[in-house]
């Protein structure tokens, strides 16, 4: 696999489309988004982000990421030490935090550990909106949370324990951002392995979603639209025997060509 986050998609006489691998955080002090991405968005008929959550209310989002069942408690899935750390890092009221699904406390930890609040996804989506692009989404927020719901709560908690709670905050964040900046796909895949994901996780979060995203891309291109697709970088590449979007589209007869570019500082 070529180390590139940007790919040209071609098939028969259909217009060219482009596929870009994002990361769901962003710090302009580490690197800046290059002009080529904005230019390619402007040239496309449709901007196709992984998701578009701009219209989701706080109440609707909270309903998706919390559990409203008698007897449920987040405390039941973490050790006392881990739960105390989550509580200290988050800015969420304890009674609300205790209803969170285990996986979604990751967003609280990442934000609290001196992580910037913006994301590359948000920056590109904002540009597409300002440019008047038609915006569809590869999957809805509800579809994303449904994929998480397929993973047992105990395993969700183990993923947080393995990958986030032991982190050293900003230093781990900088390591991740530098791997992304260098377009080091192998390093990003190693980051996934540190979660120690089970087969259920891989099927739900990678395999099924990669297939669904690829089918959405194929359907729109087959209707004659040119796309700029922005999906998480690990959805592009093959991981642990699971085909990524690039391989799936190639199986469908598309030609994908890596585009060389560098992030600006």
In a domain, 264, yes or no: no
Provide the 8-state DSSP code for 66: B
How many domains is the chain partitioned into structurally? 1
Task: Give residue for tokens 């209310």.
Answer: 57
| Residue 86 backbone dihedrals phi, psi, to 5 degrees | -60, -45
Domain that holds residue 63: 6-258
Instruction: Please state whether beta strands 46-49 and 227-232 pair in parallel, antiparallel, or not at all (unpaired).
Output: parallel
In a domain, 111, yes or no: yes
pLDDT at 115 over 60: no
Cα–Cα dist 229/50, whole Å: 8
Q: To the nearest whole number, what is the mean pLDDT of the chain?
A: 88
In a domain, 265, yes or no: no
Token pair recorded at residue 161: 């324990």
- What was the pLDDT predicted at 160? 85
In a domain, 90, yes or no: yes
| pLDDT level of residue 18 (50, 70, 90 thresholds) | very high
The pTM of this model reads 0.89
pLDDT tens profile 187-244: 888 877 766 667 888 888 899 999 999 999 999 999 999 999 999 998 999 987 899 9
Mean of pLDDT values over 90-99:
90
Cβ atoms < 10 Å from Cβ of 127: 16
Residues in the chain: 265
- What was the pLDDT predicted at 48? 98
Q: Select the more confidently predicted residue: 185 or 213.
A: 213
In a domain, 225, yes or no: yes
């Amino acid at each position: 696999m070529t180390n590139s986050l940007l790919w040209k998609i071609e098939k028969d006489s259909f217009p060219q489309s482009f596929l870009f691998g994002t990361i769901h955080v962003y710090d302009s002090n580490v690197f800046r988004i290059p002009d080529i991405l904005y230019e390619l968005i402007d040239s496309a008929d449709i901007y196709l982000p992984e998701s578009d959550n701009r219209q989701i209310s706080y109440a609707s989002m909270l309903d998706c990421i919390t559990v409203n069942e008698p007897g449920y408690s987040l405390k039941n899935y973490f050790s006392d030490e881990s739960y105390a750390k989550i509580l200290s890092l988050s800015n969420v009221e304890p009674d609300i935090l205790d209803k969170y699904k285990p996986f979604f406390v990751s967003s609280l930890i990442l934000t609290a550990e001196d992580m910037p609040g913006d994301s590359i996804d948000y920056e590109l989506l904002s540009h597409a909106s300002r440019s008047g692009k038609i915006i569809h989404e590869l999957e809805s927020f509800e579809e994303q949370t449904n994929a998480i719901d397929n993973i047992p709560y105990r395993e969700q908690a183990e993923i947080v324990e393995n990958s986030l709670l032991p982190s050293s905050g900003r230093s781990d964040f900088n390591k991740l951002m530098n791997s992304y900046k260098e377009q080091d796909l192998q390093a990003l895949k190693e980051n996934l392995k540190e979660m120690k994901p089970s087969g259920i996780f891989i099927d739900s979060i990678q395999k099924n979603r990669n297939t669904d995203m690829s089918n959405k891309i194929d359907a729109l291109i087959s209707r004659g639209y040119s796309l700029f697709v922005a999906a998480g970088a690990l959805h592009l590449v093959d991981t642990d025997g699971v085909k990524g979007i690039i391989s799936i589209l190639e199986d469908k007869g598309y030609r994908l060509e890596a585009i060389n570019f560098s992030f600006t500082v």
